[in-house]
Amino acid sequence: MLCSRLLLFTSKIIMEGKSVSLTQKYSFRNQKKKLENLTSTSGNSSVTNVDDVDSKIKKENDVSDVKSENTDETIILKNAKKAQSGRKRKSVKVSYSNDQDMIKKDKWEPENWNIVLDNIREMRKDMVAPVDTMGCDVNNDLNLTPEVRRYQVLISLMLSSQTKDEVNFAAMERLRDHGLTVDNILNTDDDTLGKLIYPVGFWKTKVKYIKETTKILKQKYNCDIPKTVEELCSLTGVGPKMAHLAMNCGWGVITGIGVDTHVHRISNRLGWVQKLTKTPEATRIALESWLPKDLWKEVNHLLVGFGQTICKPVKPDCSNCRNKAICPASQVKSTKKK
Ligand code: SF4
């Protein structure tokens, strides 16, 4: 009798030491029996011996313990205790970044480009550049029919390569006086056309290009210009810069940045390209990779005029440039360093 009482007392101490309640112990035994029966009847190969069964039951009990901690009653009790203690939880604001934000973060853009652009806007306000009065984007007659106006925009762009705005403007004036329409140019002989556009750069080649392109416009486009960059680029003597500007000035559609020699040079000086670029087309691709699209139209006109007045090809006027302190190519800054 004494022995059995001692045994009962010892087992109770052991159980308490393991923090196992009697209810849990009985539940443990019941589950163990159930699984043993299941093993013998179903022949489940995954439960092969008692130790396996024990560990499986233990796992199940562990899971049920975790589950029981999160019952509604437990949560209500926990909340009640918190309310009694008078402590309030601070609200935590969780913000999620979407894919666009992530892309924006990863995207390269030049340092201070907004400041540099604002500075150029300010400088351009104070001086009129040739492009402001004679550029292809302002030099077109709105009284003409849309088709003729677009044709003249294209011819002006074709003449503009390697040619100053002043020279191009004068040639366009002579062509307009002569009659700058598809039919009239097709009826004009090459010598006369040459004399009309001289002295624009590469004028002899441009006579051929204008004639060939005008013929295609007559045959394929009903005397109008095509409405896509690809078709425009397929015309003789029309490159990507002209095509994007023709889409903008002719059709009012922004398809890309018009990068001429000024935009190409200044973009490289300002560090607006991740690596120095060798061609205007490479510069266009580099600029379009980071410059917001709503600035594509503005940036061409802005930089062309800036290049004609301050950031000139030879001897840029760095000392009078608002960007002299932050421009990587500033000659003022490099002089100070020495
Ligand atoms: S500091 Fe000189 S090189 Fe740089 S943007 Fe101004 S004029 Fe051009």
User: Residue 315's CB: how many other CB atoms inside 10 A?
Assistant: 7
Rounded Cα–Cα distance for residues 110 and 309 (Å) = 23
What one-letter code names the amino acid at 268?
A: N
pTM: 0.67
Alpha carbon distance 149, 141 (integer Å)? 6
Please, which residues have CB within 8 angstroms of residue 200's CB and are 6 or more apart in sequence? 159, 162, 163, 167, 168, 171, 206
Cα–ligand 1 centroid distance for 18 (angstroms): 79
Ligand 1 center–CA 313 separation, angstroms: 10
pLDDT at 99: 52
Per-residue tens of pLDDT for the chain, all 338 residues = 444 454 444 444 444 444 444 334 444 455 555 444 443 433 333 333 333 333 443 443 343 333 333 433 344 334 444 444 444 444 544 444 455 555 555 789 999 999 999 999 999 998 899 999 898 777 777 789 999 999 999 999 999 988 999 999 999 999 999 999 999 999 999 999 999 999 999 999 999 999 999 999 999 999 999 999 999 999 999 999 999 999 999 999 999 999 999 999 999 999 999 999 999 999 999 999 999 999 999 999 999 999 999 999 999 999 999 999 999 999 985 554 44
Q: Which residues line ligand 1 (CB under 6 A)?
A: 269-270, 310-311, 316-318, 321, 323-324, 327, 329-330
* Token pair listed for 163: 């040619």
Q: Rounded distance, CA 288 to CA 299, Å?
A: 11
Cα-trace Rg, the chain: 40
**115-145: burial string, b at 16+ Cβ within 10 Å, e else:** ebbebbeebbeeeebbbbebbbbebbeeeee
Q: Which of 206, 241, 297, 324 is catalytic?
A: 241
- The token pair at 304 is 């062309």
| Å from CA of 115 to ligand 1 middle | 13
Which amino acid residue places its CA nearest to atom 8 of ligand 1?
311
From 310, 318, 319, mutation site for ligand 1 pocket: most ligand atoms within 8 A of C-beta: 318
Active site residue 18: no
**Token representation of residue 241:** 């810069």
Tell me whether residue 320 is exposed, middle or buried, using C-beta atoms within 10 angstroms of its C-beta: 0 to 12, 13 to 18, 19 or more. Answer: exposed
- What letter would DSSP give residue 167? H
Residue with tokens 């062509």: 175
Atom of ligand 1 at shortest distance to CA of 328?
4
Contact 180, 155 (CB under 8 A): yes
Q: How many CB atoms lie within 10 A of CB 106?
A: 7
Contact yes or no for 163/201 (Cβ under 8 A): yes
CA of 304 to the centre of ligand 1 (A): 13
